[in-house]
Structure 1
């Protein structure tokens, strides 16, 4: 029996900074309105033709592999989490394998949206714990900007999301007091339509239908979110899954050295921080700079917190996420 340990971290965000004031020039909104509701000040959008979901994932992965001290050919498997693949199929996992020039290792794509990175981390953790693989590359990467309704009609969603990628290398750890102690995954599909992108989809409106109708009022291919309903469910599920992870490892809230929540909305993170009575130095948020990058948000935040020296050897680190599906998850890590 083994544990898996994060041995390398990396992230990449596009150079194109989009401020709230920039959005106010094309959408009926303003900096105060956005910050009051989300805490976001700016986000990154790709420059078309320069960055893609895969290329950003590759850049984050290259940094993570270098920091792990491994050669890229030591990687045994890839798990790639995204809701915004370059192609409808194949998924970006195989594209990373190609672009990194890796051997014919397996590549798995995970579609769990905001919870995607923790789901991917959990899959990788199980493979390593059972001895199947020794070093696994886990990536979360998203391009939202090209799929948002950048008009006043879509402002409730479009001001929230940004583009970026984060990556982690998980390696076998024989010391069972270190590494990923446990992961906890949940879903509640009855609320799938409360946070959804309906089209194109094989069970509904496909590309040919959209093109044939040419309906400017068709919103099915833009994200829909029932914001208040999502918020109310998020704060409950965040709390539950954090407590579940702590209880599984006989830990108390006081044992948390760093909580990295999915960067969905700063107000959700602040609610959870207040509920658990955590100090500012026990919670890391960077949604102010990057917006909600869905599956990329936790690895970006985790990497940045580590780079800033906010995570040290021996720390208890908690990851938690909630999002479309609904799905939610947590991971408890002894650094």
Structure 2
């Protein structure tokens, strides 16, 4: 027997520390006009030293809200799925940290490393486990602490102005209504482009002391690298393809989309997709202006805000879409 899964509760958390474009202009050669024109971002949230936050802790804060809204007790959770590219530790993963901090009984905890597509990859995993009947309730989290690893100088501005910190969470459970819930998920990757958006070190291949010793005159590659124009070109293509794939799988037209929640990578990408599909402003939700790109957290944060603002109602067709490092891209179609 195949079950239907649905999102029963949503929550998000962002640090209180607001970092504006003007704030960044004091650290690097940039300004509000330059950042806004290229990304659409006005401000983002950064963890502040001493505020008690980390990737796992922000995930817990978002999860508590999602659990309360779902009306599901923590001990009813059968599986934890945690998506992030910025874990607190190399190991163990953030999933088991969340389990300990929430005092959840023994259950599996799975970490997903698919960067900007991480939340939808995690959603697909949760959906499959529920559909097959193996688990009933799954806690899914996307959380990122980017600010701890950005080059906050002029050298790194093309990347560093984009990213912010935050977490979003969803509780998935079996749906009692035929047809309500996750209709389909679609996952893709193309590894030949992996290094076009990457962080090479420090890693087991490039530890910092080794790099300094062997390449004293070279830049240390422990900051993220992004081939911006190449990523943009591939993103708009793959966003379009994977959205259409989801619609066609479910016999839907573009006009059937009630709400599109794109990964908040760059406002210009979202605007390009909106114009291509001829969607109006009420059919697309963007909040990158306030939070920047929070990678695995961006879709759950945006989804939660859209729901909180009454922009998503029961029976709506909601489409989620993401593209990012890997390259990976993914979509999900939901009957809310």
Question: After alignment, is 116-125 or 207-216 more displaced?
Answer: 207-216
Hey, what does 1:4 align to over in structure 2?
Answer: 5
Hey, what does 1:45 align to over in structure 2?
Answer: 46
Hey, what does 1:287 align to over in structure 2?
Answer: 288
Structure 1 counterpart SS, 2:110: strand
TM-superposed CA distance for 1:209, in Å, is 1.4
Quick one: which of 40, 53, 60 aligns to 1:58? 60
CA contact (8 A) 1:53 1:85 kept: yes
Hey, what does 1:189 align to over in structure 2?
Answer: 191
- Cα distance in 2 for residues equivalent to 1:278 and 1:176: 28
CA contact (8 A) 1:11 1:299 kept: yes
Q: Structure 1: 5+ residue runs without aligned partners?
A: none
CA contact (8 A) 1:64 1:167 kept: yes
Quick one: which of 106, 109, 115 aligns to 1:107? 109
CA contact (8 A) 2:41 2:289 kept: yes
1:183-206 superposed Cα distances (whole Å, 9 cap, x missing partner): 00000000001000001222x212
- Cα distance in 1 for residues equivalent to 2:228 and 2:211: 26
Q: Structure 2: 5+ residue runs without aligned partners?
A: none
TM-superposed CA distance for 1:47, in Å, is 1.1
CA contact (8 A) 1:2 1:176 kept: no
Hey, what does 2:181 align to over in structure 1?
Answer: 179
CA contact (8 A) 2:261 2:302 kept: yes
TM-superposed CA distance for 1:217, in Å, is 4.2
CA contact (8 A) 2:211 2:220 kept: no
- Cα distance in 2 for residues equivalent to 1:105 and 1:150: 39
CA contact (8 A) 2:208 2:220 kept: no
TM-superposed CA distance for 1:176, in Å, is 3.1
Aligned length: 334
Quick one: which of 140, 164, 171 aligns to 2:166? 164
1:226-253 superposed Cα distances (whole Å, 9 cap, x missing partner): 0000000000000000000000000000
Residue 260 (str. 1) matches residue 261 (str. 2)? yes
1:20-67 superposed Cα distances (whole Å, 9 cap, x missing partner): 000000110000000000000000000123210000000000000000
Structure 2 counterpart SS, 1:79: strand
Hey, what does 1:297 align to over in structure 2?
Answer: 298
Hey, what does 2:91 align to over in structure 1?
Answer: 89
CA contact (8 A) 1:241 1:320 kept: yes
1:12-27 equivalent positions in 2, closer than 5 A: 12-27=13-28
- Cα distance in 1 for residues equivalent to 2:325 and 2:192: 11
TM-score, with length taken from structure 1 = 0.98
TM-superposed CA distance for 1:268, in Å, is 0.0
1:268-305 superposed Cα distances (whole Å, 9 cap, x missing partner): 00000000000000000000000000000000000000
TM-superposed CA distance for 1:212, in Å, is 4.5
Moved over 6 A (4+): none
CA contact (8 A) 1:137 1:170 kept: yes
- Cα distance in 2 for residues equivalent to 1:21 and 1:215: 33
Hey, what does 2:318 align to over in structure 1?
Answer: 317
